[in-house]
Protein backbone atom coordinates (compact mmCIF):
# COMPACT_ATOMS: atom_id res chain seq x y z
CA UNK A 1 0.00 0.00 0.00
CA UNK A 2 1.43 3.38 -0.97
CA UNK A 3 0.54 5.13 2.27
CA UNK A 4 2.46 2.55 4.31
CA UNK A 5 5.59 2.99 2.23
CA UNK A 6 5.24 6.78 2.50
CA UNK A 7 4.83 6.59 6.29
CA UNK A 8 7.97 4.46 6.64
CA UNK A 9 9.99 6.82 4.46
CA UNK A 10 8.62 9.80 6.38
CA UNK A 11 9.60 8.32 9.74
CA UNK A 12 13.19 7.91 8.56
CA UNK A 13 13.55 11.60 7.75
CA UNK A 14 13.54 14.50 10.24
CA UNK A 15 10.37 16.55 9.85
CA UNK A 16 10.41 20.31 9.54
CA UNK A 17 7.99 22.32 11.69
CA UNK A 18 5.80 22.93 8.63
CA UNK A 19 5.72 19.23 7.72
CA UNK A 20 4.95 18.23 11.30
CA UNK A 21 2.02 20.66 11.34
CA UNK A 22 0.78 19.31 8.00
CA UNK A 23 0.99 15.76 9.39
CA UNK A 24 -1.01 16.82 12.46
CA UNK A 25 -3.69 18.36 10.25
CA UNK A 26 -3.86 15.24 8.08
CA UNK A 27 -4.01 12.96 11.14
CA UNK A 28 -6.88 15.00 12.59
CA UNK A 29 -8.76 14.95 9.28
CA UNK A 30 -8.36 11.17 9.04
CA UNK A 31 -9.52 10.75 12.66
CA UNK A 32 -12.63 12.86 12.04
CA UNK A 33 -13.40 11.00 8.83
CA UNK A 34 -13.10 7.68 10.67
CA UNK A 35 -15.54 8.94 13.34
CA UNK A 36 -18.10 9.85 10.68
CA UNK A 37 -17.62 6.56 8.82
CA UNK A 38 -18.03 4.54 12.02
CA UNK A 39 -21.25 6.31 12.97
CA UNK A 40 -19.87 7.75 16.22
CA UNK A 41 -20.71 11.23 14.98
CA UNK A 42 -22.69 12.59 12.09
CA UNK A 43 -22.00 15.42 9.73
CA UNK A 44 -23.81 18.68 10.41
CA UNK A 45 -26.19 19.96 7.80
CA UNK A 46 -25.58 23.38 6.29
CA UNK A 47 -28.59 24.73 8.20
CA UNK A 48 -27.17 23.42 11.51
CA UNK A 49 -23.82 25.01 10.77
CA UNK A 50 -25.33 28.39 9.92
CA UNK A 51 -27.65 28.27 12.97
CA UNK A 52 -24.63 27.70 15.23
CA UNK A 53 -22.64 30.69 13.98
CA UNK A 54 -22.22 33.58 16.37
CA UNK A 55 -21.88 36.62 14.16
CA UNK A 56 -21.12 40.07 15.57
CA UNK A 57 -24.07 42.45 15.68
CA UNK A 58 -23.76 45.26 13.17
CA UNK A 59 -24.88 48.60 14.62
Domain containing 47: what range? 2-52
Q: Summarize pLDDT for 10-57 with one digit per residue, the tens.
A: 445 565 666 678 888 999 999 989 998 999 888 889 999 999 988 888
pLDDT at 7: 43
Let me know if residue 59 belongs to a domain. no
CB 41 within 8 A of CB 35: yes
pLDDT at 26: 92
Give the separation between CA 10 and CA 5, rounded to whole angstroms: 9
Let me know if residue 57 belongs to a domain. no
Provide the b/e sequence for 13-52 (b: ≥16 CB within 10 Å).
Answer: eeeeeeeeeeeeeeeeeeeeeeeeeeeeeeeeeeeeeeee
Number of domains in the chain: 1
Let me know if residue 9 belongs to a domain. yes
Let me know if residue 28 belongs to a domain. yes
Let me know if residue 40 belongs to a domain. yes
Amino acid sequence: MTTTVHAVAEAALPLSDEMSCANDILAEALRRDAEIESGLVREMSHAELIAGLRLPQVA
